[in-house]
Structure 1
Amino acid sequence: MRTVIGLVLLGALVGTGCSVARQGPAGPPSIVIGAGQEPDNLNPILGYAPDGAAKIFDGLLDRDAKLKLTPGLAVELPETSADGLTWTAKLRQGVKFSDGAPLSAQDVAFTYKSVLDPKVNSTIASRYDALADVQATDDSTVVFKLKYPYAPFDQTLTLGIVPRKAFDGVDINAAPFNTAPIGTGPYTVNQWRKGDRMVLKANETHWDTKPNIKTVTFVYITDDNARATRMASGEFDATVLPPRLAQTYRDKAGYKIVQNPSADYRGLGIPSELPFTKDPNVRVAINTGINRQAMIDTVLAGAGKPAATPISPYLAEWYDPAAKFDFDPQKAGAILDLAGWVIGSDGKRAKDGQPARLPILYPAEDSLRKDLALAVGSDLAKLGIDAPVEATTFELMLQRQKETAAIWGGGDPYDPDTAAYTLLHSRYSGQSGYVNMTLYKNSQVDTALDEARKNLDRAARKQAYKDFQKAFVADPGWAFLVFLDHTYVMRDKWTGLEEQVEPHDHGMVHAVWWNIEHWSPK
């Protein structure tokens, strides 16, 4: 009901003279963005913007519009030893942090060592499992030593670099830096009112870019409909919206809809230890009985692709189109029958007196996940599965991961290792946080994922990922549903926008404004 009300209200606002926000007095170019996500902190060590586009920080490497790695703080792409165990990066000369202090290799080494420090509560430490040590051999040279060859290690070098002196005698987990950072990026933090907004100011001394947009204000609104309403009232210059809300702006004067492809999946995490779903055949039946194309056509208004594994079609070299689940409810029912879950007189399935029950959770303020949860629940109900849908929080979704399914999201278009390894490898089963939330274990999947990350031969990696996808669809730990196209509504007043295949994270960092430092007013 909330989505319907939001659509009606949004249509009324857009249709009653609010097509373009009023202009104030002329001044330095600025932009106000309605963001759906607020960062927990602004410290790269703790996990802020590990894939680049950090606005406040630069990494050793950056990515262009085609996701090709390019030099950032490193003067060129790093050199790699023949055995893949040593990576050497040379820094640019003359780069300074926003407080005027010079960047050095010691800052780089400190950043990466801190991520690995067990006393630091870094949410991205698992990304650096292969890293044994990092040393500054002089002021402009950084050497990374790996425990084993890790083919996509260069993809991890987009992490923002922090000044080591800012943490002298300070607990990194509680440092003032975490909310008032110092970086080398094209913007600095002018103000952060948690739960409300963050104001960024152009860094006029940036080593590479002098942004034309001098002030960027991110206003944090987690509720989709509230964000849509405030966009319609003229408060924002741009915002991210679910596809059906964004379509309200189609052909509206002064606005444009931007639809960017992504490797961002939404999926039903199926608990592997629940009595009903511990049988792989049941999980195959659930996947077979879900109508993904109907979700794309209705919930996503056509803005997406069906998913079967976390490897996106945009990871074209690694994606196996044969790894899929064709929608076939009759086949799904037959699989459940053979597994002993038969329909009773009440139309619901049970086995040895145990009901076929799978509660589905979703985060309350996310209307898209709500609609997907309801669609999944409806499909499962048609199979005779009791699948009640419940709104909750991410924290409770994690707490109840052994007993309920949940609509999760994730994924990136950089390398299949970062999309799949921590999500599905059994070594992460039972660990805290957003790793292997379904407690999934499959030895064939483990073997394929291990081979793919450690083998430096590209053809061998490709075969390993094909093996992984084949093993996963035979024993799925999830029902991956869709890969989203991220949709945005913007006032049509900026140049410099470039399409980029986006990762899951599209709050402050990636999104359509991933390169906002290169935008200009029309």
Structure 2
Amino acid sequence: MNRKTLVLPAVVGLLTPVLAACGGSDSGGKSGDAIVVGTTDRFTASSDAPAPFDPAYTYDSGWNVLRQVVQTLMVQPRGGGDPEPEAAEDCHFTDKGNERYACKLRKGLQFSNGDPLTAADVKFSIDRAIAINDDSGVAGLLSTVDTVETQGDNEVIFHLKTADATFPFKLSTPVAGILNSKQYEKKKLREGFQVDGSGPYTMQAEVKNNEVTKITFTKNPHYKGLLTPKNDKAVMESFSDAAAMSTALDKGDIDVMARTLTPDQINELQNNTTGNVNLVEMPGLGIRYLGFKTDAPTVKNKAVRQAMAQLIDRDELVSKVYGSQAQSLYSLVPATITGHSNSFFNKYGNPSVDQARTLLAQANITTPVKMTLHYTTDHYGAATAKEFEVLKKQLNDSGLFDVSIEGTAWDKFRPAELKGQYDVFGMGWFPDFPDADNFLSPFFGKDNFLNLPYANSEIRNTLIPQSQREADRLTASKSIADIQDKIAEDVPILPLWQGKQYIAARDDVMGSEYAMSTSSDLQLWELSRGVSG
């Protein structure tokens, strides 16, 4: 098949998905009529992370499960844009100050077990997430909620502490998922791997050694909402690495290969334009960065963090590890988002050993500065290890640092990071919604999801509230730019790169170009079986 381009309605500032026909075998998926999707995301339960699929807890790849099962009042439409009513039939601010938000529910909503879904369930779910306030930081998305009021069975009113023009987006995230109070306790997480809701699917997990191996999603006959599931059943299968996932695609054991393909796999698929597997390139807002425990002795002096910002060569890093699949990033806010500013480039310019040496000397820092960079081995793809090798070499070649690197599996890495056990660590961020606020507030607001000790009162108490007040996001750009400039000065976080996202799908699978949102969440309801071309 020849290379082909699919033209979709444009999304401001984002790329149009491109499909390239690639090599593969002729067999289809081997799970009957179900669409089988492979992923390298791993879902484990442990004493540190006992509730991987509870909306009040999970704040990472677990959202790929919750979005299929748990319904929200609002939903982000395919391709991006402002959120639209989902479990609600209408939602809007009722005041000029963006502090009172009212939603009217669709009629006849039911949970998957047939129980009626009412405004009381919405209130229960939001109040529950706020009350549990888990260390994962996901409740921070609801930090502007003061009280939740119900009027009858079908109307919910949110009274906000401060103006929050981004609140409709937040109601589209899984932490605002609507739960049945008969199945979830008000102040306790639901441990294990079962999820119940009113979304387009029900789910059943297969578990081995406290780790999910496969999840079967079955169309929910009680679902009423904006989405239109295009299949009756979908399966998510978890693989130990991208190579095993690719082998399964070649053998026809799976139909779709999602997060996360390696750069080498993407290059191979791009260069092979014959066969019956399509590589889909989609708009992506995922970013990677280094985080700092700013009260740790090794990096407490901001001159150390500034020197690292001055030394790291993003262009070389991207070129050696990711090639055309990523681009250098000089702010936490991606280049395609309204309000983006190249604050780190404006502050530090091109990499310079001499300028980094001057920064350290002026602060009386003894060199070489010894430290360990920590990264997760199994959460962001196999290329992460190579990325940290490049970072290590760049810093050590300057003679100003003595860096070692250490990789840890995600189920141990994330709890250790939250407990402050790492002075310097690598993380990724897939946004909850496509707005600059979501690349700033979760990091620098109260109860930030990284549990960073860094706290800038002007950012937290003035600039973030100012930006959230503005319904016109262009008007909010001044406050957003000021936040980015202060982060470049203090370097509590060091942005590295912004990536594209890819899915590989067999030719008889339809809808793969919509199967992942711009926030990198799977949308299994978009997939269907078609005719191989």
TM bracket, shorter-chain basis: 0.7 to 0.9
Equivalent position to 1:313, from 320, 327, 335: 335
**Contact 1:98/1:205 (CA < 8 Å) preserved in 2?**
yes
Q: Distance in 2 between matches of 1:162 and 1:302?
A: 42
Q: Distance in 2 between matches of 1:499 and 1:305?
A: 23
Q: Which amino acid aligns with 1:31?
A: I
Change (3 A) 1:52 1:309: farther
Deviation string 1:47-98 (CA, Å, 9 cap, x unpaired) is: 4766997111221111112322111111123233223221110011122221
Change (3 A) 1:235 1:503: same
1:391, distance to aligned residue in structure 2 (A): 1.4
Which residue in 1 is equivalent to 2:395?
A: 380
Change (3 A) 1:62 1:270: same
Which residue in 1 is equivalent to 2:244?
A: 226
SS in 2 for 1:94: coil
Which residue in 2 is equivalent to 1:182?
A: 196
Deviation string 1:411-432 (CA, Å, 9 cap, x unpaired) is: 415222222123134x447xxx
1:306, distance to aligned residue in structure 2 (A): 1.4
Deviation string 1:466-520 (CA, Å, 9 cap, x unpaired) is: 111122222222221111112222212122234588466x4xxx14xx2534534
Which residue in 1 is equivalent to 2:217?
A: 200
Q: Distance in 1 between matches of 2:134 and 2:417?
A: 21
Q: Distance in 1 between matches of 2:236 and 2:516?
A: 22
Equivalent position to 2:318, from 296, 305, 318: 296
**Root-mean-square deviation (Å):** 3.1
2:27 maps to 1:21: yes
Q: Which amino acid aligns with 2:257?
A: T
Change (3 A) 1:82 1:142: same
**Contact 2:56/2:133 (CA < 8 Å) preserved in 1?**
no
**Contact 2:277/2:504 (CA < 8 Å) preserved in 1?**
yes
**Contact 2:205/2:212 (CA < 8 Å) preserved in 1?**
no
1:138, distance to aligned residue in structure 2 (A): 0.7
2:420 maps to 1:405: no
Equivalent position to 1:43, from 25, 50, 54: 54
**Contact 1:33/1:239 (CA < 8 Å) preserved in 2?**
yes
Q: Which amino acid aligns with 1:337?
A: T
**Contact 1:263/1:502 (CA < 8 Å) preserved in 2?**
no
Q: Distance in 2 between matches of 1:130 and 1:59?
A: 18
Change (3 A) 1:502 1:327: farther
Q: Distance in 2 between matches of 1:54 and 1:458?
A: 26
1:20, distance to aligned residue in structure 2 (A): 3.6
2:489 maps to 1:474: yes
1:222, distance to aligned residue in structure 2 (A): 4.2
1:231, distance to aligned residue in structure 2 (A): 3.1
2:177 maps to 1:160: yes
Unaligned runs of 5+ in 2: 1-21, 44-50
Which residue in 1 is equivalent to 2:440?
A: 420
Change (3 A) 1:98 1:122: farther
Once the two structures are aligned, what percentage of the paired residues are identical? 20
1:441-520 correspondence runs (5 A): 441-446=455-460, 447-454=462-469, 458=473, 460-499=475-514, 502=517, 506=520, 510-511=521-522, 514=523, 516-517=525-526, 519-520=528-529
1:249, distance to aligned residue in structure 2 (A): 2.5
2:99 maps to 1:95: no
Q: Distance in 2 between matches of 1:205 and 1:128?
A: 28
Q: Distance in 2 between matches of 1:519 and 1:42?
A: 25
1:404, distance to aligned residue in structure 2 (A): 3.1
Deviation string 1:445-468 (CA, Å, 9 cap, x unpaired) is: 434224323455645521100111
**Contact 2:119/2:153 (CA < 8 Å) preserved in 1?**
yes
**Contact 1:305/1:484 (CA < 8 Å) preserved in 2?**
yes
Deviation string 1:363-400 (CA, Å, 9 cap, x unpaired) is: 12342221211111111112111111111234345168
Change (3 A) 1:34 1:64: same
1:134, distance to aligned residue in structure 2 (A): 0.7
Which residue in 2 is equivalent to 1:64?
A: 77
Q: Which amino acid aligns with 2:57?
A: L
Which residue in 2 is equivalent to 1:261?
A: 283
2:68 maps to 1:55: yes
1:155, distance to aligned residue in structure 2 (A): 1.2
Q: Distance in 1 between matches of 2:142 and 2:407?
A: 34
1:146, distance to aligned residue in structure 2 (A): 1.1
Change (3 A) 1:197 1:458: closer
**Contact 1:299/1:368 (CA < 8 Å) preserved in 2?**
yes
Q: Which amino acid aligns with 1:59?
A: T
Q: Which amino acid aligns with 1:249?
A: L
Q: Distance in 2 between matches of 1:243 and 1:516?
A: 27
SS in 2 for 1:45: coil
**Contact 2:503/2:512 (CA < 8 Å) preserved in 1?**
no
**Contact 2:200/2:219 (CA < 8 Å) preserved in 1?**
yes
Q: Which amino acid aligns with 2:409?
A: T
Q: Distance in 2 between matches of 1:34 and 1:440?
A: 38
SS in 1 for 2:171: helix
Q: Which amino acid aligns with 1:75?
A: E
2:354 maps to 1:333: yes
Change (3 A) 1:278 1:520: same
Which residue in 2 is equivalent to 1:363?
A: 376
2:141 maps to 1:127: yes
SS in 1 for 2:439: helix
Which residue in 2 is equivalent to 1:392?
A: 408
Q: Distance in 2 between matches of 1:443 and 1:165?
A: 41
Deviation string 1:144-199 (CA, Å, 9 cap, x unpaired) is: 111121221111111321122323xx4663547x6333322111114442431111
Which residue in 1 is equivalent to 2:130?
A: 116
Q: Distance in 2 between matches of 1:256 and 1:196?
A: 25
Deviation string 1:22-58 (CA, Å, 9 cap, x unpaired) is: 5669x5x311111122455333233476699711122
Q: Distance in 1 between matches of 2:515 and 2:353?
A: 37
**Contact 1:90/1:142 (CA < 8 Å) preserved in 2?**
yes
2:115 maps to 1:104: no
Q: Distance in 2 between matches of 1:479 and 1:87?
A: 35
Q: Which amino acid aligns with 1:363?
A: T
**Contact 2:29/2:253 (CA < 8 Å) preserved in 1?**
no
Which residue in 2 is equivalent to 1:345?
A: none
1:132-143 correspondence runs (5 A): 132-143=146-157
Which residue in 2 is equivalent to 1:521?
A: 530
Change (3 A) 1:500 1:468: farther
Change (3 A) 1:285 1:23: closer
Which residue in 1 is equivalent to 2:229?
A: 211
**Contact 1:444/1:471 (CA < 8 Å) preserved in 2?**
no
Change (3 A) 1:475 1:171: closer
2:236 maps to 1:244: no
